[in-house]
Structure 1
């Protein structure tokens, strides 16, 4: 099976969010499963020189964009046996940022065409092009329109993955008609048109052979008006064309037994895990006590992460319980300021780190006993998987991938790997935390819950099998 992943970002080259982690990890699992997998990305200015210096120039072509012909360089990087192609155009990608420019519609219209134009140049005809998020949503339509009469592109299937439906890539008609020169028969309510504009994500959903998203629950949620952001009717109409597949994590990198950032490495020993807690307490200036339960929060400080719930009851929790809370993240100034002020009110119980540090995040996973994720919505979520990998028990709201991966502990059967609540309600969250703290005080029970989480298989290998099944369905 020959596969091409088209995406706007990928770890370790360039990253703004979870999409990059998926594009960095899933191809490795597919390669291990036997696929001939390649990846194509824009060559951004922000890619570190250490990677750019190892790229080789594979050629160049000209991409037609409206009445202009735009230069398209092709650079290749060998990422542990996976060829990664970079689309080089200084005008579009030689900028400090990745997204957020006034001409993003034109930039990614160019990228969508470039992905297809480079294929004859690199001598690779994929069986399936797997497109990710709005940035590549026009590729399935281009294959059925502009490239439909070129025999080279015959029988290339497409899969389109929604990583976050909130960001859809909506641009003026000129991007559709003037830059991409697409036939107006596709600019309809049943096609790529969206309230007089072109919607890249809608095009990906309509014209691809299969649509996936990053968890089964999110696949159901986005068919509703609350989570559908205007596309719920379309998503409801496509039936089983839409599938939810939970993301995995890099279990080699995230391994508490080998993680060099930790003070004490461990397999499953709670005693050794708690050595990381006392080390973090010392580092952050909290009272040192292995017995005091620690709750970790590693998150962007933004409303969809459920921080309104935390703001509402954190003082009540800290005044009423012998517990410590460690917060790591950046985001909206209002939340940043609130957490800073809360840390002044509770200097013995709360440490707030308004920054991002990969090493500190790993140490919070290792040190914390509980990990809080009360998200308003969460397409998949990675932090809860990492928390369980490190033996931190998640407390989550039952939404998206959190609902698919965290199962509430049942004290009668011993099943379950965490604690959950369904309503977006601060005191429901607080009561769930208190329930978890009650079990924390029962050492044998707590050890069972921790082991249930640490024994879960959240590697990419199981997800890769599900994706391969979808590719094979398209080629059958």
Structure 2
């Protein structure tokens, strides 16, 4: 018996990516298929998605359009894979240039509630055999964009006078980042077509507004998030975003399952984007990658200067204000810093100013460039991920694979994946990076000093780098945990 799973999300690598969500929606369904699941994906028909999918064909006209002139469901395939992808074609909603969520002024679109209600509603319709040839046993909704899917499933169940959605379909809501909650004015609730009593503190209401994220948390049968530590942290006032009481109340339904790495994309022994390929057993190519990175970014050609890398959104959440304050520690000790990212104007200006003041030691590229991201991870000695909070984090996992020792704050998935190079951990053969406890400048500065100290002990550095590169954070183990959860949820509701 095969479990059919529909993943509902807004992004998919390599077609559309604004963050780590796209990497997950590409890799997790593929890993589940390898484990024997029948996994498919549902996406809004954003322009890059509509242009990028192959073999698209119409499946059904959507009876509700939430204000779009028309909307249809199509089925296609992700190029180079067997992953079947449903796409909602509603050009009035999705065929807009630029960012999928924001207009040209970087303001959220005024109809985002309706655009993403259509996504959640379509997922619930698929669960009720909108496609006569395929229906899921499990609907897994990712982040706030898909948060209404469990609510529409619950509404459908109630219409039938049942506790479970039609066909016994069960739902999972996956939190990738609790900070993004999909909050809209209360007056938009009526346009969603949900039962009136769903607008309640025991429902989608959130401090007088409506929250798509809360809808997922409240109405889903199970909740997952992307690391075990983050699952604990979001039940606290400090990291619960006002939803900690709800999450504590559902603690028995909340599971932290670590994200994985797609080693088909992030593997230094096969990466076509980097100057020279290398591996844990043949590391000499890493020095060539470092020299190539220094050349590309016009840094001083110093093979003995440790290169600290950043590939990140330039935001305070990512701790890059803290790093900017600690930057003199890197420069005065003879290190180099390479930054790729875009974000807060003040941080962009701060890093650009540092690059102007120290052109041989600091290089900053504002924007995003996937190839350069690979080159930085391959060429860096240390990858900086000093996040205030971090649900899982993928950068530190890529860094481990490429032997760029991660320097991280002990939060969320960072705490679950990096082992600090303390004297005890070095002696026990466990260390894979550098971890600081307190989110304060002196704590980060002390970790940077420890990185320099280890770099000065070349044999210990090589041993730690080898150990980092041998860590396995592939998707197989995570997919297995999801399969266990699906079987537990589906019970007898598996289909041949």
TM-score per shorter chain, which class? over 0.9
- Equivalent of 1:388, from 385, 394, 400? 400
Cα deviations by residue, 1:82-117 (Å, 9 ceiling, x for unpaired): 210101112221222311201111111222212223
- Equivalent of 1:104, from 107, 112, 117? 112
Give the 3 Å change call, closer, same or farther, for CA 118–209 of structure 1 in structure 2.
Answer: closer
Cα deviations by residue, 1:267-310 (Å, 9 ceiling, x for unpaired): 12332211111122122222212222111111111111111211
- C-alpha separation in 2, matches of 1:41 and 1:121: 15
1:308 aligns with 2:318: no
Q: Please state how far the C-alpha of 1:118 moved relative to its aligned partner.
A: 4.3
- Equivalent of 2:145, from 135, 149, 152? 135
Question: Does the residue aligned with 1:47 lie in a helix, a strand or coil?
Answer: helix
1:37 aligns with 2:33: no
- Equivalent of 1:437, from 428, 452, 457? 452
Cα deviations by residue, 1:154-199 (Å, 9 ceiling, x for unpaired): 30000100111111112233433x2233223332222222122222
Question: Does the residue aligned with 1:314 lie in a helix, a strand or coil?
Answer: helix
Q: Please state how far the C-alpha of 1:146 moved relative to its aligned partner.
A: 3.6
Q: Please state how far the C-alpha of 1:240 moved relative to its aligned partner.
A: 2.1
5+ residue gaps in structure 1?
none
Give the 3 Å change call, closer, same or farther, for CA 185–355 of structure 1 in structure 2.
Answer: closer
CA contact (8 A) 2:54 2:77 kept: no
Question: Does the residue aligned with 1:464 lie in a helix, a strand or coil?
Answer: helix
Q: Which moved more, 1:164-173 or 1:240-249?
A: 164-173
1:235 aligns with 2:237: no
Instruction: Name the structure 2 match of 1:416.
Output: 431
How many correspondences in the alignment? 471
| TM, length-normalised to structure 2 | 0.91
- C-alpha separation in 1, matches of 2:55 and 2:40: 17
Q: How does 1:327-366 map to 2 (within 5 A)?
A: 327-366=339-378
CA contact (8 A) 1:62 1:70 kept: no
- Equivalent of 1:182, from 194, 204, 218? 194
- C-alpha separation in 1, matches of 2:166 and 2:15: 29
1:116 aligns with 2:124: yes
- Equivalent of 2:279, from 242, 267, 270? 267
Instruction: Name the structure 2 match of 1:73.
Output: 72
- Equivalent of 1:256, from 250, 262, 268? 268
Q: Please state how far the C-alpha of 1:46 moved relative to its aligned partner.
A: 3.8
- C-alpha separation in 2, matches of 1:93 and 1:384: 33
Give the 3 Å change call, closer, same or farther, for CA 70–353 of structure 1 in structure 2.
Answer: closer
Instruction: Name the structure 2 match of 1:222.
Output: 234
RMSD: 1.8
1:291 aligns with 2:293: no
4+ runs deviating over 6 angstroms: none
CA contact (8 A) 2:330 2:336 kept: no
Question: Does the residue aligned with 1:228 lie in a helix, a strand or coil?
Answer: coil
- C-alpha separation in 2, matches of 1:169 and 1:270: 45
CA contact (8 A) 2:65 2:71 kept: no
| TM, length-normalised to structure 1 | 0.95
5+ residue gaps in structure 2?
102-107, 492-496
Instruction: Name the structure 2 match of 1:58.
Output: 59
Q: Which moved more, 1:154-163 or 1:53-62?
A: 53-62
Give the 3 Å change call, closer, same or farther, for CA 434–202 of structure 1 in structure 2.
Answer: same
